[in-house]
Structure 1
Amino acid sequence: MKVVTTEIPATSAPPTLGVLLAGGLARRMGGGDKPMRSIGGRTILERVIARLSPQCSGLILNANGDPARFAAFGLQVVADDVPGFPGPLAGILAALDWTATNRPEIEWVLSAAGDCPFLPRDLVARLHEARARENAQLAVAASGDQSHPVIGLWRVDLREELRHALVVEDLRKIDRWTARYPLATVMWPTEPLDPFFNANTVEDIAEAERLAALDDAS
């Protein structure tokens, strides 16, 4: 399988690099890569790529271990900068560092969980609109009564501050770091499905099959 990842930004939002966070250990599924599970005949990762490619000026994948297992998707695989699996903030930092080195013209990175197959098609546009309107430095997504801090916009020029928080302060929770900055939170409806549904357990995969039928029909 080869997923086309043509760099075609679909909105007037600033150029934004997308990072798909796939560095988790998937303990609740018995290990392995959650994004490689299939729902509705397609891998979760394939669905995430299809949603975000039209919205971003390129995509990279944050994952640890042998990058060859993702070769079929045609994405640059970037490992954590900070050892010891310290969580999604390490993946975000790795993406900010990669962007600064390889795409210095880009000032913004969008992070998204690699196990969210139904991401909104207007994710990047709405996050940028909100942070510009509210003069915020960061923006995150929310649905229902829940914030999803792993899905958000990050300024590349905050990477040294994030590195200090991770390495020196041993900070791990995303919302503790975002609380330090002006933050825009953008709400999405949860009907007919929650666009930020993520597949954490075997039971979630069964529910994702049902939701995929709704999503594919929309």
Structure 2
Amino acid sequence: MTANDAGGVVGLLLAGGLSRRMGGGDKTLRLLGGRTILDHILDRVRPQVELLVLNANGDPDRFAGTGLPVAPDVVPDYAGPLAGVLTGLDWAAEHAPEARWVASFATDAPFQPTDLVERLLDAVEREGADMACARSDGREHPVFGLWPVHLRHDLRRAMLEEQVRKVDVWTARYRLAIADFDCDPIDPFFNTNRPDDLAEAERLLAGGAFES
């Protein structure tokens, strides 16, 4: 199944966290190879989706250079990635009513796959699933997921009425497909959570392990 077959896919860039392990601030605006991590991610994500929205809290002007719409969490108090997913589903329902799916991307993983959406869609179709997420080296990455827009009301109820915050608690209620990715030369979901991770990303980028 292609993005067009799916009625178009809205891309959701998740940048709503507090970045405590990086020392605060926006991890995605840290420089990597002279460009922001977000710039590297946009190069990889933009061709995969019809529209992109950035989920971030605080002053949206700090992302003005991207030209992207910025949507703050619709659930207060930094409720985690599920709040970002719900925000993206609500945004898609309003701004892209023809879209059936939202694909979410972490914004601290500069080497993420350029075929992520295609492979998530294929996994959903192959398994007759409700949603999908990525996996590498036996580890699931739920923030790299494919979410059906029509379940936004169910997710809102789970978050507001049941106080559900963990992604896997919510996805366990549905059929979740998995798309596996190789870790050669390294895990494509390598993330820059800490300063040491950013230094390692610089080394990988300079060594040509991934295209910039």
Other-structure match for 1:4: none
Other-structure match for 1:101: 94
TM-score by length of 1: 0.93
Task: Name the aligned partner's letter for residue 144 of structure 1.
Answer: D
Q: 1:13 to 1:114 in 2, by over 3 A?
A: farther
In the aligned structure 2, how far is the partner of 1:196 from the partner of 1:109? Answer: 19
In the aligned structure 2, how far is the partner of 1:185 from the partner of 1:144? Answer: 12
Contact 2:134/2:145 (<8 A) preserved:
yes
Other-structure match for 1:30: 23
Structure 1 vs Structure 2 CA RMSD: 1.4
> Unaligned stretches of 5+ in structure 1?
1-9
Question: How do residues 27-176 of structure 1 correspond to structure 2 at under 5 angstroms?
Answer: 27-176=20-169
> Unaligned stretches of 5+ in structure 2?
none
1:21-59 per-position Cα deviation (integer Å, ceiling 9, x unaligned): 000101111110000011112111011111010000011
Deviation at 1:215, TM superposition (A): 3.8
Tell me the SS of whatever aligns to 1:203.
helix
Point out 4+ residue stretches in structure 1 off by more than 4 angstroms.
10-13
Contact 2:46/2:52 (<8 A) preserved:
yes
Q: 1:88 to 1:70 in 2, by over 3 A?
A: same
Q: 1:144 to 1:194 in 2, by over 3 A?
A: same
In the aligned structure 2, how far is the partner of 1:150 from the partner of 1:217? Answer: 22
In the aligned structure 1, how far is the partner of 2:88 from the partner of 2:143? Answer: 13
TM-score by length of 2: 0.95
Contact 2:73/2:87 (<8 A) preserved:
yes
In the aligned structure 1, how far is the partner of 2:3 from the partner of 2:210? Answer: 23
Task: Name the aligned partner's letter for residue 74 of structure 1.
Answer: G
Contact 2:3/2:9 (<8 A) preserved:
no
Contact 1:118/1:215 (<8 A) preserved:
no
